[in-house]
Amino acid sequence: MKVCETFSSIQGESSLAGLATFFIRTSGCNLNCEYCDSKFAHSEGREMSCAELIKEAQDSGLDYICITGGEPLLQDESRDLANRLVEINKIVSIETNGSLFAEGLDSRVKRIFDVKTPDSGAANTFDLRNIKVHTNNDEFKFVICSENDFTWAEEFVAEHLKSSDASILYSPSFDKISEKWLAKNLVLKKSSARLQIQLHKKIWFPDTRGV
Ligand code: SF4
């Protein structure tokens, strides 16, 4: 499979935020979001086998493995890799933009769906079959760029995820809205979503590559 980079760092997002994690960033993406901070992953990369990646994950000595991108599900090998990593007792999450059907993954693999809002520039790309097959282990993340995005996300959750126990995470787009604005609105609107701060950017900015 084509892999952009591997590195060890702190997980910045999801319910696993704050944990030391080994990252595998795959190459290629089928979307072109306005705020994308990993455009380098759209083309950069080199071929690596699942066996090589599993060895690197083991050599990292870390229990948590995150497969991210780009869009990992563009390559079928990502599914095989995730499933093989849980088999060796790693705690595995896979970050996907939700535009592809995330089938074929072991239920122990945490799928983190990044549901694209209107202001992402990639609206209406979410594959709704993912709603039908999701489990309580999965998480749905919305990057909120504006008040319009906030309203859209609330409506999406009300329509599709009302009876779900999966975590709903709202993250403020880095330079579009403030954490304070989002926090206030979550309380005012009695939202069921959880505020998520992109920890890795707080910690490492402006060095956002490979950390
Ligand atoms: S889906 Fe992710 S990697 Fe792809 S363009 Fe959007 S933010 Fe960038």
Distance, CA 108 to ligand 1 centroid (Å)? 24
Task: Decide if pLDDT at 174 tops 90.
Answer: no
User: Which residue minimizes the CA distance to atom 7 of ligand 1?
Assistant: 36
Burial of 126 (0-12, 13-18, 19+ CB in 10 A): buried
Distance, CA 84 to ligand 1 centroid (Å)? 25
Tell me, what DSSP letter sits at residue 41? Answer: G
For 26, the token pair is 């795959």
Percent of the chain with pLDDT over 70: 98
Burial of 120 (0-12, 13-18, 19+ CB in 10 A): buried
Collapsing DSSP to helix, strand or coil, 181 comes out as helix
User: Which residue minimizes the CA distance to atom 5 of ligand 1?
Assistant: 32
> Has this prediction a pTM greater than 0.85?
yes
State the pLDDT at residue 163.
Answer: 92
State the pLDDT at residue 4.
Answer: 98
State the pLDDT at residue 199.
Answer: 84
State the pLDDT at residue 211.
Answer: 58
CA end-to-end span of the chain: 22
- State the pLDDT confidence band at 207, using cuts at 50, 70 and 90: confident
Q: Where are the beta strands (DSSP E) in 12-150?
A: 20-26, 46-47, 64-68, 91-96, 110-114, 139-144
